Amino acid sequence: MKTQLTKIAFAAFMAAVLLTACSKDKDEVEDNEEEVITTLKLTFTPAGGGTALTYQFRDPDGPGGIAPTTDEIVLAPSKSYDVAIEVLNETTTPAEDITEEIAEEAAAHRFYFQPSAGSNITVSNLNTDGNGIALGLASTWTTTATATGTIKVTLRHYPGNPPGKAAADPIDSPKSGTDIEVTFNTKVQ
Amino acid sequence: MKYLLLLATILVAPSLLFAQNCRYSLSGHIEDADLKEKLAAASVYIRETNSRVVTDSNGDFRFGALCAGRYTLIITHVNCDSVIKIIQLNRDEHIDLRLPHSLQTLGTVVVESRKGRENSGFKKELSGQQMEQTRGSSLAEALSRINGVTMLQTGSTIAKPVIHGLHSSRILLINNGVRQEGQQWGNEHAPEIDPFIAEKLAVIKGVDELKYGSDAIAGVILVEPRSLRNEPGYNAEFNTGWATNNRQMIFSGIWEQTLKKIPAFTYRLQGTFRKAANAATPDYRLNNTGAEEKNFSATAAWQKKMFRTELFYSRFETSLGIFTGSHIGNITDLQNAINTSRPDPVFTGQDSYRISRPYQQVTHQLVKSKSVLLKGAHKFNLSLAGQFNHRREYDIVRSSSNSRPQLDLSVNTFSEDLNWEHPRTNNIAGTLGISLVQQRNHYSGRYFIPNYNTYTYGAYWIEKWSRHRWDIQAGIRYDYKTIDTRRLKYNGDTLDHNFNFSTVAASFNSNFRASAAWIFNLGISLSRRAPYVNELLSDGIHHGTATYEKGSIELKPEQSLSLHSGLQFRNHDGKLNAEVLLYANFIRDFIYQQPMPENPVLTIAGAFPLLEYRQTDALLSGMDLSVDWDPAGPFRLSGKIAILYGYNRIARDWLILMPANKLGSEISYVLADKGAFTGNSLSMEWNWTDRQRRVPDAGNGSQDYKVPPPAYQLINLQASSTISVSQRPVTVGIGVRNLFNTRYRDYLNSMRYFADEMGRNISFRLKISIEKNQRDKSISKH
Q: How many other CB atoms are there within 10 angstroms of residue B93's CB atom? A: 18
The torsion angles phi and psi of A133, rounded to 5 degrees, stand at: -105, 145
Judging by beta carbons within 10 Å of its beta carbon (0-12, 13-18, 19+), is residue A168 exposed, middle or buried? exposed
For residue A58, give its domain range.
39-188
pLDDT of residue A1: 47
Q: Does A180 touch chain B (CB under 8 A)?
A: yes
Average pLDDT over residues A185-189: 95
pLDDT of residue A25: 41
Q: How many other CB atoms are there within 10 angstroms of residue B230's CB atom? A: 19
CA distance B450 to chain A (A): 11
Pick the more confident residue, B330 or B221.
Answer: B221
Pick the more confident residue, B220 or B112.
Answer: B220
3-class state of residue B256 by DSSP: strand
Q: Which of B9-18, B154-163, B390-399 has the lowest mean pLDDT?
A: B9-18
**Distance of alpha carbon B546 from alpha carbon B291, whole angstroms:** 24
Closest CA to A109 of A13, A41, A179: A179
Average pLDDT over residues B698-706: 78
pLDDT of residue B21: 52
> At residue B312, does pLDDT exceed 60?
yes
Q: Does A101 touch chain B (CB under 8 A)?
A: yes
Confidence of residue B413 (pLDDT cuts 50, 70, 90): very high
Q: Does A27 touch chain B (CB under 8 A)?
A: no
**Distance of alpha carbon B12 from alpha carbon B682, whole angstroms:** 9
Share of chain B above pLDDT 90, in %: 61
> At residue B167, does pLDDT exceed 90?
yes
Give this prediction's pTM.
Answer: 0.85
> For residue B358, is the peptide bond before it cis, meaning its omega torsion is within 30 degrees of 0?
yes
The total number of structural domains in chain A stands at 1
If contacts are CB pairs under 8 Å, which of residues 131-160 in chain A contact chain B? 157, 159-160
Average pLDDT of every residue of chain B: 87
A174 falls within a domain: yes
Residues of A in contact with B551 (CB under 8 A): none
- Per-residue pLDDT tens for A13-70? 555 545 544 443 444 444 555 678 999 999 999 998 889 999 999 998 888 888 999 9
pLDDT of residue B332: 83
Pick the more confident residue, B621 or B675.
Answer: B621
pLDDT of residue B22: 65
pLDDT of residue B49: 75
Ordered by start, the domain boundaries in chain B are 221-781
> At residue B36, does pLDDT exceed 70?
no
Topology (CATH level 3) of domain B221-781: Maltoporin; Chain A (2.40.170)
A12 falls within a domain: no
Residues of A in contact with B307 (CB under 8 A): 4, 8
Q: Which member of B327, B418, B601 has the closest CB to residue A64? A: B601
Closest CA to B407 of B416, B396, B418, B423: B396
Pick the more confident residue, A92 or A40.
Answer: A40
**Distance of alpha carbon B112 from alpha carbon B208, whole angstroms:** 8
Q: Report the chain A residue with the minimal C-alpha distance to residue B384.
A: A15
> At residue B43, does pLDDT exceed 70?
yes
Average pLDDT over residues B637-658: 95
**Distance of alpha carbon B287 from alpha carbon B327, whole angstroms:** 12
The most confident of the ranges A82-86, B125-129, B606-610 is A82-86
Q: Report the chain B residue with the minimal C-alpha distance to residue A33.
A: B445
A23 falls within a domain: no
Q: Report the chain B residue with the minimal C-alpha distance to residue A164.
A: B346
Question: How many CB contacts within 8 angstroms connect chain A with chain B?
Answer: 147
A13 falls within a domain: no
- Report whether B581 contacts B122 (CB < 8 A): yes
Q: How many other CB atoms are there within 10 angstroms of residue B188's CB atom? A: 21
The CA–CA distances, whole Å, from A114 to A57, A110, A119, B756 equal: 16, 13, 10, 34
Confidence of residue B1 (pLDDT cuts 50, 70, 90): very low
A133 falls within a domain: yes
